[in-house]
Structure 1
């Protein structure tokens, strides 16, 4: 690709960038994104029931204990030693069950009934609350966890089981299968699978990257088709080369997306800092409660830069492809037909990345995972998350970046051959076979 072929790209870049950031659609979506980013951590904390609820007094005021076992009297008085439950009135049920249940439903809505049942070799603890009161399932869950611990102690004491005997009964039995080579040397197989939290993190990041890439690339395609259908493209071609149009548009759209991503990240971290300082006296990060534990060990400047490089290269590739397919269309109503190649290619990358998420959780690193890390269509979606949880080595990342650059260069060379013909074309949508014919004759 000669330098003269992209003469005027700076003018296209400036024009597209300014028009994009001045458009109502961009301003509205950008403001919505900023607001969501700023309030994301407080909303997450609220949904998950975070804040000071862990140490604050339980809203439960009274517990009626309905003991129907042969273990003897159980009063759970040890609950009084916990600040969270020290105010709760613990009362052994003496009246009629139905009457007390009715009273709780209509009047004592901050009270509950704890029923302890015995059925052959097992015990069950049942908590009943009013359907009209303000008590939540999370309130009962906090109390039930502590009651269950206390009940285990009561049960052991009643059955005369010592701590040593209990430890022996509950002792974990591990079965270890070792493999050896022909020389009898042990083959150590490392577990490289990911946890459910890590899977959720990679999947969420993959979804966000897919949405950003698809949106940005589609905007480029729509812009090119709009200019072709309104004859604006003919005016542009009087001062710039055809290939400069797609180069300028890709870089302009990429710049706006990078601005959005950086703004989102900055506001999320600010939101996390403010929420953490307001919701906890210790200032413990709220975000750290919901992200995989090992992500903060890999959240270095170097790894963040690597992730950005992978994402940016992926966006450049898909944006060029969208611009190419958009140029095959002459009318806005035909754009869905023209974007089939881009959509199909994008879906291949996304589905490979989704499959690799599942394989990572079930089987760990294998040949398919390495392929998904290296394949330029899927690596922009799966590799950033893998880097941040420490599942992608530096050589793999370097090789992936190298392959992305090679694919971008090859795509650019192809675009350089056909783009001038495409941008001046007015008529039916150009098919893939026709694109290759044009490239051979160019």
Structure 2
């Protein structure tokens, strides 16, 4: 009976999937998922406790007596309440013309929660000195916190005392920003710029660790079973092409399912912790990470995080991982013996690391022709393409085109992997060098 090139791959895929997802695998996966759930829960609850502690931190200082020897025309005390009213809710200021030593004696007996703040002019600028009255109940750390907070007031007071009109003062203090824009290109918001930089970096790191963790698993699966009786039985059901494709695809699907479960548990634990933090720990809790994500998502508009971009990016992640798994299978196929696997897989690790560093470092050059090459070459496009699609660095049409190119390269790798694997099986494990020498002698 004639068989197609990939005939029987479904049977191999089903068998390899059951073999890979045994009891040990399930226990390890569920255990890690539980750890991820607890980690996500811990992140939100720790932020809630931290925010509750910071918001509940109230200074015991109630009265501050100012001994002002700075010579400033304006002392902008209203700015202190605007910036530090939550930390120092009970503080009131009162200017005093009495000497510091006299105040230190009288206040300690009458006002134990009062503090003396001396402002003086020096050759290097201005000096703030907090003086604790005798018998004061205020700690040294609270006094230092007040001095640090009051330093902002001094900066504003110096500017207001300079005599410059407020309109010119605001103009002089305004910052200068730069941006680059090609003709006909629409300007991006701050949120889009942040997303376009951070999201691809995170996806590149995610893909790197995925390919690093599972590359050796693919190599072992390809190399170890070459001389087993199980291999002889499988070859009666399928051809080497279908055999290697089904086996590597099963490992790929297993790895992707495992990672999706872990990420889902991490995200689920994070949102569960958010609910607990908001309803149980601190009712006024604000999840900073969710607020940042909402801001970025709202500013990104239609160029990033659209449903179509998310679907295509997820598909590209799976395709990219399949490409590197097939590449690991291709390189592992050159190992004629299981003992040679470690040396052969060293080549895979070098190739994988080269693609990672090129994808991570070369886009920093900010040259479009470099990015285009990175999106075409499969070793780098597998890393960089999902992030570019997700954040809208490329259009949907460009994304589809680059994905088609990656599909074509993946198919080529699959065919070459099957051919090398077939030759290794039917040449009874002879190395590639031996076969080449034999062909040269026959010629």
Scaled by the length of structure 1, what TM-score is found?
A: 0.72
Post-superposition CA distance 1:160-212 (Å, at most 9, x none)? 44423422433557899999xxxxxxx56767798566534322221111111
Quick one: structure 1 residues 175 and 14, their matched pair in 2 at CA, closer, same or farther if it must change by over 3 Å?
closer
Q: Name the CA distance, whole Å, in 1 between partners of 2:438 and 2:294.
A: 50
Alignment of 1:280-429 (within 5 A): 280=278, 281=283, 286-289=288-291, 293-295=295-297, 297=300, 298-359=304-365, 363=366, 366-427=368-429, 429=431
Match in the other structure for 1:71: 72
For residues 25 and 117 of structure 2, what CA distance do their matches in structure 1 show?
56
Question: What do the CA deviations read for 1:335-375 (whole angstroms, capped 9, x no partner)?
Answer: 1212244323322321221124423xxx3x61111222232
What is the RMSD computed on CA atoms of the aligned residues? 4.7
Partner of 1:224: 222
Of 161, 167, 170 in structure 2, the residue corresponding to residue 167 of structure 1 is 170
Deviation at 1:223, TM superposition (A): 1.5
Task: Give the Cα separation in 2 of the matches to 1:124 and 1:244.
Answer: 79
Change in 2 beyond 3 A, CA 1:234/1:300: same
> Which protein has the bigger helix share?
2
**What residue in structure 2 maps to residue 57 of structure 1?**
56
3-state SS of 1:405 partner: helix
Structure 2 CA distance for partners of 1:332 and 1:379, relative to 1, 3 Å:
same
Larger radius of gyration: 2
* 1:185-224 superposed matches below 5 A: 187=183, 195=193, 198-224=196-222
Could you tell me how far apart the structure 2 residues matched to 1:167 and 1:260 are? 55
Instruction: Identify if the C-alpha distance between structure 1 residues 210 and 386 changes in structure 2 by more than 3 Å, giving closer, same or farther.
Output: same
Shift of 1:249: 1.4
1:262-277, aligned counterparts within 5 Å?
262-277=260-275
Secondary structure of the corresponding residue to residue 61 of structure 1: coil
Please list every run of 5 or more consecutive structure 2 residues that lacks an aligned counterpart in the other structure: 103-111, 132-138
Contact 1:221 1:322 in 2 (8 A): yes
Residues in 2 aligned to 1:350 and 1:384: alpha-carbon distance in whole angstroms: 13
Q: Deviations along 1:100-129, whole A, 9 cap, x unmatched?
A: xxxxxxxx9x9999886756575577999x
Contact 1:52 1:279 in 2 (8 A): no
**Does the 8 Å CA contact 2:76/2:156 hold for their aligned counterparts?**
no
Moved more, 276-285 or 71-80: 71-80
Deviation (angstroms), 1:404 = 0.9
CA distance in 1, matches of 2:187, 2:435: 49
Change (3 A) 1:389 1:241: same
The separation in 2 between residues aligned to 1:157 and 1:234, in whole angstroms, is: 88
Alignment size in residue pairs: 405
1:134-149 mapped onto 2 (5 Å cutoff): 147-149=150-152
Change (3 A) 1:367 1:201: same
The answer (yes or no) to whether the contact 2:76–2:157 under 8 Å persists in 1 is: no
TM-score by length of 2: 0.72
SS of equivalent residue, structure 1 residue 378: helix
